[in-house]
Structure 1
Amino acid sequence: MMEAFAEYLASIDNPEHKERTEEVLKWITEKFPSLKTKIAWNQPMFTDHETFIIGFSVSKQHLAVAPEKVVIDQFSEEIVQAGYEHTNQLIRMKWKLPIDYSLLERIIEFNIKDKADCTTFWRK
């Protein structure tokens, strides 16, 4: 599963950011073995029956988590309570903060359930 992300991870210059990103991606592959891994738009992402579940990107300040706007709206309060910032499309998990795996798990589970009958990559 993680082979799909090897090249992406190798491109992350900061060793701490690389380690944290790899840890999160690995956790998802172990926690949600039914999800498929892929690189699209130069970002690691996870899909379920060809529909987007969650994607990630790395910046200097944070790990960006993209679960789609509907999910961010649904979890907005919890995201802020965890100490993260968000836009309509992205959750910014600052490098200095711990990863809230419980929140991440609920976000992924929500997307899997909510998109169970989705026939497109993105929600319409």
Structure 2
Amino acid sequence: MGTQAFASVEEYLGSLDSVKAKTLRTIITFVLSEFPELKAKLAWNVPHIHWNGKYLAGLAAYKNHLTIAPWSASVMETFKPRLQGLVVFKNCFHIPVDWSMDEGLVKDFVRARLAELD
């Protein structure tokens, strides 16, 4: 049995349980409202935020956590001290499915990635 292919970010979010969908939707909506030049689209069957055709970050839901991947090991390294208490890898970090979004962290994270892409 293969993985379901999604046609849109909304379809992906609609396939999740309500808690996971709400958390990811909150992050995506916040980022797009704070940075209107960014867009959300589906890539590799999960939601991604992109700018001028370049990927800023991907988001995905798993059984017991959500993942944010900035497509940048240097951004991850810079933000490690601010990600205390979360599971952090070289290219991504996990957040709880019911994460209370840290708006300052998300804004700074997006700004850092945009600076890198500019």
Q: Scaled by the length of structure 2, what TM-score is found? A: 0.85
Aligned positions, number: 110
In the alignment, which residue of structure 2 is the partner of 1:86?
88
In the alignment, which residue of structure 2 is the partner of 1:5?
9
Alpha-carbon distance in 2 for matches of 1:86, 1:62: 12
1:1-124 equivalence runs, <5 A: 4-12=8-16, 14-67=17-70, 68-80=72-84, 83-116=85-118
Question: Which contiguous aligned blocks of 4+ residues in structure 1 show a shift greater than 6 angstroms?
Answer: none
Residue aligned with 1:85, SS: coil
Asked if 2 retains the 8 angstrom alpha-carbon contact of 1:93 and 1:99, the reply is no
Kindly, what percent of the aligned residue pairs are identical? 22
Unaligned runs of 5+ in 1: 117-124
Q: Scaled by the length of structure 1, what TM-score is found? A: 0.82
Asked if 2 retains the 8 angstrom alpha-carbon contact of 1:53 and 1:111, the reply is yes
**Alignment RMSD:** 1.3
Unaligned runs of 5+ in 2: 1-7
1:5-46 CA distance string (max 9 Å, x none): 21111111x211111111111111111110122100011111
Residue aligned with 2:49, SS: strand
